Structure 1
Amino acid sequence: MKKTALVTGSTSGIGRATAERLGAQGMHVIVSGRHEERGDTVVAAIRAAGGTADFVRADLRDADSARALATEALRIGDGRVDVLVNSAGIFPFGATADTSEEGFDAVYGLNVKAPYFLVAELAPGMAERGEGAVVNITTMVAEFGASGMGLYGSTKAALVLLTKSWAAEFGPSGVRVNAVSPGPTRTEGTAAMGEALDQLAAAGPAGRPGTADEVAEAVVFLATDAASFVHGAVLPVDGGRIAV
């Protein structure tokens, strides 16, 4: 039976690269994001490569929007979603004193609340079937303090803890929950960082930013049976930044 994979934030960057690779693995990919035109482009690329895909527009800001996406994904997947990749996220940087409550809530809404309620809606069904995989996208700055990155980093640190908690909760029922922790990665979203991205990456042994494709390969590994004995892991794909 063809597996169904829901990839949030998959109209660009790491999410898109992951969606395309899961499509190449033979999964029916549900592409999700805010921009329908970009979503249709990703779907067309997957189909052109011989895969199966559909787009669902979702603005993941709260529990209701997460539940709505889960409901539509289950409808498209004939009642099942076998793989969930929580890739959607925003990463504003700035001083703590300059953060508004509205901005704070928006970051936590997308980066923490949406994955939480997507897992709440989809993981129990995986557990009933005795198999499934959840992969969360975190960040290297969830592991150490960095000026101006407290808000973003704290949301991803929460996702790291949730990864381990969900692995303990759902793992005994056959659902593997893991995370990928990217370092500086060159995507559409980080293009505005310019040379700052290269400077950040220079601190790692690889000495360069990663690509969305390189991160996506790790996501696909954790999402498939190649990682059948991996539960609760946070896999660094950061050019070795974890080592320094």
Structure 2
Amino acid sequence: MTARLRDKTALVTGSTSNIGRAIAVAFAAEGAHVVVSGRSAERGAEVVAGIRAAGGRADFVAADLDGSAAASTALADEAARVLGGRIDVLVNNAGIYPGSVTPATDEATFDRVYAVNVKAPYFLTAVVAPRMADQGGGAIINLGSWIARLGVPVGALYSSTKGAMETLTRAWASEFGPSGVRVNAISPGVVRESVPGESGPRPGDSMMIGTPAGSFGAPEAIAHAAVYLAADESAFTHGAVIDVDGGRTGVAVIAA
């Protein structure tokens, strides 16, 4: 532990698995008191138990971020209460991914994806950012995606929500930066957890063939970038979208 986040508090949405969990674990390892949040109390308890076993501080706050302002406000209020009255770092990570093509996407699915991926972080930020400004500053980290800028034939709905989050990152940096609240984003490539005993590729792995990394990334790679954006060393970083994608969007992909 290097304590880069000592004395800071953090709320990480969607942190009961994958990237969110890795960020919560990394924040706690750097000294932050973390609120782990998600819909599953069982998985949340497992993440909290792991953090505490490693000597970190964490609590679970259940939340079903359905896009309503009420749900986002309730999470902000409860997380702040658990964290002693303040949130220094907010990570807008929770999201859902339907893999349907455009003609197969019904209106209910469209509304649900935008509610979770855009409306929920929008209204959560609307509550948390002014409070951060009042307390002297803070950091907000959004999760974008490489497919927000590089089109793929499946996933138009999801990619459009991530494009919205990257645009909001820049808008919020302009809106809240002068009040001491830094807003930045991370754009992951294909990221997944390795499963012991698993054989064969999963859908999406082929997207990384020919990239400099050559394969999918681990959630911890995104967590490292999140620690940087949450820590004081990124004090001069505003409105940035950091690509942590194995070179998928920045380097020409050469097919084998």
Superposition TM-score tier, normalisation by shorter sequence? over 0.9
Cα contact 2:67–2:118 (8 A) shared by 1: no
Residue 105 of structure 1 pairs with residue 114 of structure 2: no
3-state secondary structure, aligned to 1:94? coil
TM-score, with length taken from structure 2: 0.91
- Other-structure match for 1:236: 243
RMSD: 1.7
Cα deviation, 1:146-180, whole Å, max 9, x if unaligned, reads: 11211000000000000000000110111110000
Cα contact 2:67–2:115 (8 A) shared by 1: yes
Superposed, 1:9-24 pairs within 5 Å as 9-24=14-29
Cα deviation, 1:88-130, whole Å, max 9, x if unaligned, reads: 1111112111111110111001100010011011000111122
Cα contact 2:13–2:94 (8 A) shared by 1: yes
Distance across 1 between alignment mates of 2:67 and 2:220: 29
Q: Paired residue for 1:209, among 209, 216, 224?
A: 216
- Other-structure match for 1:73: 79
Cα deviation, 1:209-239, whole Å, max 9, x if unaligned, reads: 0000111111111111121110000000000
Identify unmatched segments of 5+ residues in structure 1.
none
How far apart are 1:204 and its partner, in Å?
1.7
Distance across 2 between alignment mates of 1:117 and 1:96: 27
Give the structure with the higher percent helix: 1
3-state secondary structure, aligned to 2:204? helix
Residue 145 of structure 1 pairs with residue 144 of structure 2: no
3-state secondary structure, aligned to 2:214? coil
Identity of aligned residues (%): 54
Distance across 1 between alignment mates of 2:114 and 2:201: 26
- Other-structure match for 1:34: 39
Residue 52 of structure 1 pairs with residue 57 of structure 2: yes
TM-score, with length taken from structure 1: 0.95
Distance across 1 between alignment mates of 2:167 and 2:121: 13
Superposed, 1:153-172 pairs within 5 Å as 153-172=159-178
- Other-structure match for 1:200: 207
Q: Which amino acid aligns with 2:231?
A: T
Distance across 1 between alignment mates of 2:21 and 2:76: 19
Identify unmatched segments of 5+ residues in structure 2.
1-5
Distance across 2 between alignment mates of 1:48 and 1:236: 32
